Amino acid sequence: MNFIEKLKGKKCLVIGAGITGMAVQKALSDFGAKVDIFDEKKSSQSGVVNTIPDEIDLAVVSPGWRLDHQVIKDLRISGAQIISEIDFAWEVKNVLAPNQKWIALTGTNGKTTTIKMVESIFNSANIKGKACGNVGETVIETVCRQEPLDYLALELSSFQIEWSNAAKFEAIALLNISEDHIDWHGTYEKYIAAKLKLVTHSKVKIANKSDPILATKLKNQEVIWFSLATPSKGELGLVEDLLIDRAFAGSKDHAHEIAELGDIKPSVPHNVSNALAAAALSLAIGINHKDIKAGLSKFTPDHHRMELVLEENDIKWIDDSKATNPHAAIASLLSNFNIIWIAGGLAKGASMDELVQRCSNRIKSVLLIGEDKELIADTFVKLSKSVPIKKFEKSTDSRQLMLEVVSHAKGIAVPGDTVLLAPACASMDQFVSYAERGELFSAAVRELAK
C-alpha cells in the first residue's frame, strides 16, 4: 500500500486551523482519513477541537507551532506519528506526481520576491511550474492539482524547515540570515541552524557570498555562490551593468550574460541579489539564459515591497510594510536618502543596534508606533542621539493611527525627502497583517499628502 492508501480510515489530527491546516484537512479527508483539527485559538470554529482526541495515528503540524508546545509533547507521549505539512505534501507527491521536482529557497528577507521571480521565469520558459509554500497556494494544494505540475518552487520559513525531514530538492538557495523569530527559536544560533538545515536536503546548494553568516558557515561546503561582486569561477555576480553566470555556463572558464541591470525592477542592490538567486535556481534545473532574462524583465514586485505610493512636491512616499525585521528595513533605508522613517510594531526579539549604526546618517526623523517602539527609541538614544524621535500612542483604530502618522510626516517633510514605511517589526500588535498596515499607510498618503 502506498502512503495515500494507508491514510484511509486512519485517525488523523491537523495541528492549526489556519490556511495551511484547512488545506491539509481537506486533503486528508479526500484520502479517506478521519480528521480532527486542533487549534487552541480557534476552538469555536466548526470542526475545530481544543483537546487532543484519543488514539491519534498521524498528526500533521502547520507552520508556527513550536516543537516544545504542550500538545506536541502530549502527542509524542501518545505514540502518534508527527510530521510537518511539507513532509506530508512530499509523501503525497511521491504517489500523485512521482516525477515532479521541487526547488526551494529560504532567507530572512527577499523570499517572496525571489520565489515569484522564479515563477516568472517558469512562465517565460513555458515550464509547468508554480511558486507555493509561504506564498500563494499551500504546498499540499499545489501537489493535489488534477493535472500535476513538473516543478514546484517552495518558499520556506525557518518554522517549516525546522519541522521537516523528508522532502528532497533539486536545488535550494539561501538568500541571507539575520536576527528574526528569536522568540520562536529561542536563540539566534538555533534560528541559523534551522535555515542551514535546508542545505542537507538538496542536490545543488546556492548561497549569498555577501552574507557573513552564510559565507562563514558554508565556507567548507560545495556551494554555488552569488553576490554583487565580479564573479569568480563557479559563481554568479555583476560585471558593470550585467548579471553574469560563471557557474552554469558550460565550462567554469566561460561566462554568460543572464540579464542587464535595467531588466531588474527596482534595480536596488538587494533586489539584484534576489534576481541572481532566482537565476541560479533556474539554471540549476536547466532553464536557459534567454528565458531567465525574459522572466526577470517581466517581473514586478508585489505590493508593500518598496512600492512608490506617491511622489508630490519632490517628496517620495514609499510603502515597504513587508520589511518586518531590521535586516529588511536596512535594505530599504540604504536605498534612500533624507528619510522620515516610520517604524515599530513587534520586534520578535531582534536587536536594532546594527540598523541604527548603519542607517542613522540617512534618517532625518523617526516616527514610532507599536508595541516595541521604546526598543527602537532607546537604541537611537544610545547610538545616535541627534535624530529626532516622535512616538505615537498605541490605538485600537489603526486607520486613525496611520492618518496621524502621515499627517505628522507631511508637516515636517520638505522637497528632497523620502517618507518611508519600513517598520523593522511585525504588524500584529496593531494591524491584521503587514498588508493592512501598508494599505492604510497608502490610503492615508493619498488622502493627506496629494
Is the previous residue joined to 53 through a cis bond, with omega within 30 degrees of 0?
A: no
Q: State the pairing for strand pair 151-155/129-133.
A: parallel
pLDDT recorded at residue 40: 80
> Which DSSP state fits 344?
-
> Which DSSP state fits 127?
-
Spatial CB neighbours of 166, under 8 Å, sequence gap ≥ 6: 83, 86, 87, 90, 91
pTM for this one? Answer: 0.80
Give yes or no for a contact between 22 and 15, defined as CB atoms under 8 angstroms apart: no
Confidence of residue 44 (pLDDT cuts 50, 70, 90): low
Overall average pLDDT of the 133-139 stretch: 88
Total Cβ atoms within 10 A of residue 54: 7
pLDDT recorded at residue 201: 94
User: Quick one: which H or E segment has residue 250?
Assistant: none
26: pLDDT strictly greater than 90 = yes
d(C-alpha 257, C-alpha 253), whole Å: 14
Output phi, psi for 346, to 5 deg. Answer: -100, 115
Higher pLDDT, 254 or 41: 254
pLDDT recorded at residue 389: 97
Which residues on adjacent β-strands are paired with residue 343? 368
d(C-alpha 259, C-alpha 298), whole Å: 12
Q: 231-257: string of b/e by CB count within 10 Å (b at 16+)?
A: beeebbbbeeeebbbbbbbeeeeebbe
User: Quick one: which H or E segment has residue 365?
Assistant: strand 363-368
For the chain, the C-alpha Rg in angstroms (whole number) is 23
Side-chain-side CA neighbours of 155 within 13 Å: the count stands at: 24
pLDDT recorded at residue 45: 67
Give yes or no for a contact between 140 and 152, defined as CB atoms under 8 angstroms apart: no
Q: Alpha helices of 169-251 — where are they, by DSSP H?
A: 182-185, 188-196, 212-217
Least confident of 88-92, 321-325, 440-444: 321-325
User: What SS3 state is found at 359?
Assistant: helix
Least confident of 38-42, 117-121, 150-154, 260-264: 38-42
- Among residues 441, 368, 348, 350, the alpha carbon closest in space to that of 400 is found at 441
User: Quick one: which H or E segment has residue 256?
Assistant: strand 256-260
43: pLDDT strictly greater than 70 = no
Query: What are 353-403's pLDDT values in tens digits?
Result: 999 999 999 999 999 999 999 999 999 999 998 999 999 998 889 999 999
Three cell numbers written together for 426: 511585525
Overall average pLDDT of the 280-290 stretch: 98
Question: DSSP states of 141-170 as a string?
Answer: HHHT-SS--SEEEEE--HHHHHH--S--EE
Output phi, psi for 167, to 5 deg. Answer: -65, 140
Give yes or no for a contact between 372 and 346, defined as CB atoms under 8 angstroms apart: yes
Confidence of residue 213 (pLDDT cuts 50, 70, 90): very high
Q: What is the 3-state secondary structure (H, E, C) of 277-341?
A: HHHHHHHHCCCCHHHHHHHHHHCCCCCCCCEEEEEECCEEEEECCCCCCHHHHHHHHCCCCCEEE
- Among residues 399, 394, 404, 308, the alpha carbon closest in space to that of 346 is found at 394
Q: What angle do CA 61, 64, 67 make, to 5 degrees?
A: 65
Give yes or no for a contact between 343 and 424, defined as CB atoms under 8 angstroms apart: yes
